Amino acid sequence: MRFFLGLPFAGAITIGLFLLMKILISQEVELGEKEETTRFDINPKVEELSVRQREVQAERAKEVKPPPPPPQIEKQKATQPKEGIANVAGAIPDFDAPRLDRSAVNFDVSDRDAQPLVRIPPMYPPRAAERGLSGQCTAFFNVSPAGKPYDVRTECTSSVFARAAKRSVEKWKYNPKIIDGKAVARTGVVTVIKFQLAD
């Protein structure tokens, strides 16, 4: 419907435009007067200019006498001392060399018990932390001549702490027990490990 309704309007607009163009073409256009043209020379002639050269005579340079040379200063020579250093500063005193009696020196280390060197605290078990449990473990172990704990056994208030306490003690480091200057094993070491939640 819109197509058929728009056909008359389109035809009227087309006819109107056609008539308007015909009127514009039929009118005469008057041209203005002829404009003046400007002429340009591509190769203009240039007048030659004569340049006057001025003769300049240089004046004679005045003779300058050079200044006299500076006086020479005699260098002083150092004289060597005739006296010896010992006479001036004093003679170096003679010291008797100390005598060491090797039989009186003893390098043997005195006897000592096993001493803890490094103690790594145990990891708090996650299950105990979730429940809010606190407790302690008593660890029984021996220390080797190399200072390492072995045969670790634990007794805990709750079994949840036993594994963490044993792993912690196995990572410890001791200064070994010394008897007659030799490192020996230390047996029957007992220590208490506490597990307590921070407030």
Q: How many CB atoms lie within 10 A of CB 192?
A: 9
Euclidean distance between CA atoms 181 and 100, whole angstroms: 23
Question: pTM score, two decimals?
Answer: 0.44
CB 195 within 8 A of CB 122: yes
Residue 94: the pLDDT is 67
Alpha-carbon dihedral angle through residues 83, 88, 90, 92, given to the nearest 10 degrees:
-50
Residue type, 95: F
* Cα distance from N-terminal residue to C-terminal residue, the chain: 88
* Length of the chain, in residues: 199
Token pair, residue 161, equals 């702490």
Q: Where are the alpha helices (DSSP H) in the chain?
A: 2-26, 85-89, 126-131, 162-170
Token pair 């006897």 in the structure block, residue = 111
Token pair 């002429």 in the structure block, residue = 39
Walk me through the domains of the chain, giving residue ranges and CATH numbers: 115-195 (3.30.2420.10)
- CA-closest candidate to residue 120, choices 168, 174, 170: 168
| Tens digit of pLDDT at every position of the chain (199 positions) | 777 777 888 888 888 888 888 888 876 555 555 555 556 556 656 556 555 666 666 666 677 778 888 877 777 776 776 666 555 555 566 666 667 666 655 555 568 888 888 988 999 999 998 988 999 999 999 999 999 999 999 999 999 999 999 999 999 999 999 998 889 999 999 999 999 887 6
Token pair, residue 3, equals 């197509």
